Amino acid sequence: MSVSISSATPEESSKDVLKNSSFNLAKGLLAPVLLSTLCGSVAVGQSAQQPPAPAQSATAADQRRVQNHTSRHATMYYEGVWGVDSMRVKLAESGELVRFDYRVLDPEKAAALNDKKAEPELYDAEAGVKLVVPQMEKVGKLRQSSTPKAGVTYWMAFSNPTRVVKRGHRVDVVIGSFRANNLVVE
């Protein structure tokens, strides 16, 4: 703190002190009000520019997980009756093929799925189509039809040339007397 000596009269001195103290008082009261107003408007501007909360993307992931979930009863049925599990249907080759995969648990029960005489079909009720496994000139049918072995994943591909079967559709796969219902296309 500095002290200054002036040649002003006591009356003039007291007027200067009053002026300065009322200015300091007004400045002291006004500063917090201005500061809070500025901070509030900056916070509002920033909150409008923030990206969407990550909870939205987590919700979408949860919905996909629920869609692809096979009930415990259905899993037990396919394992017990047909000797297969891990059934998946997914688009391949830019959507022109729909691939059906399954893992064999019991080769004897799963033999019907690899039977060369059975013609596999994929039904999409939403698109109103039935897809078949195409016969390639040099390769043959786009499916595995060897004797099944436990622990091995087998596949077959259905032709989807018009790309009417899309990701998220529910489809049924039929191979002879085997039928897998409501599989979600990935």
**Torsion of Cα atoms, 140 then 143 then 148 then 153, to 10°:** 140
Say if 95 falls within a structural domain: yes
Which has the closest alpha carbon to 86: 175, 1, 180? 180
> What does pTM read for this prediction?
0.63
Say if 121 falls within a structural domain: yes
Q: What is the mean pLDDT of each run of 10 residues along the chain (186 residues)?
A: 53 53 50 50 46 50 51 90 94 93 96 91 95 88 89 95 95 95 94
Say if 155 falls within a structural domain: yes
Residue 124, domain extent: 70-184
Say if 174 falls within a structural domain: yes
Domains: count for the chain: 1
**Chain centroid, CA 69 distance in Å:** 14
Say if 52 falls within a structural domain: no
The pLDDT of residue 137 is 87
Q: CATH number, domain at 98?
A: 2.60.40
Say if 134 falls within a structural domain: yes
Give yes or no for a contact between 163 and 95, defined as CB atoms under 8 angstroms apart: yes
Say if 51 falls within a structural domain: no
36-23-29 Cα angle (round to 5): 25
The amino acid occupying position 157 is A
Reported as a single tens digit per residue, the pLDDT across 132-168 is 999 888 888 888 888 999 999 999 999 999 999 999 9
Say if 17 falls within a structural domain: no
